[in-house]
Structure 1
Amino acid sequence: MYGWIWDHLPGNAAVKGFLFLVLVASVILLLWFYVFPLAEPLLPFGDVTVDGG
């Protein structure tokens, strides 16, 4: 998959490297600020099964 992305990016190796980093950063930011906040209410992080006493 990464080879396919690398082959389809324009430019020489330096430009491809920069574009690849921008692409990876964009995906990370999309997940961090959009996907994870939408999924957080569906995850059982607040369901605690340990008694306090």
Structure 2
Amino acid sequence: MYGALWRVLPGPWWVRLLILLILIALVLFALVTWVFPWVDSLLGPQEGTVGP
């Protein structure tokens, strides 16, 4: 799968690497901004208390 993605990207190896780094950064940004908060709202509060 990664080999196929590498072959589809245009340009020399350094341009491909730059494109992949930008794509990874965008995916991580989307996860932190929208996906993780949405999943957290579905799970509800985690109340962990330690009693005596």
Task: Give the TM-score normalised by structure 2.
Answer: 0.80
Matched-pair identity in %: 37
Question: Which residue does the alignment assign to 2:34?
Answer: 34
Once the 2 structures are TM-superposed, how far is the Cα of residue 10 of structure 1 from its aligned partner? 0.7
Superposed CA RMSD: 1.7
- TM-superposed CA distance for 1:16, in Å, is 0.3
How many residue pairs get matched? 52
Name which structure has the greater RCO, CA cutoff 8 Å, separation 6+: 1
Q: What TM-score, normalized by structure 1, do the two folds share?
A: 0.79
Unaligned runs of 5+ in 2: none
Helix, strand or coil at the partner of 1:11: coil
Q: Residue 42 of structure 1: CA displacement?
A: 2.0
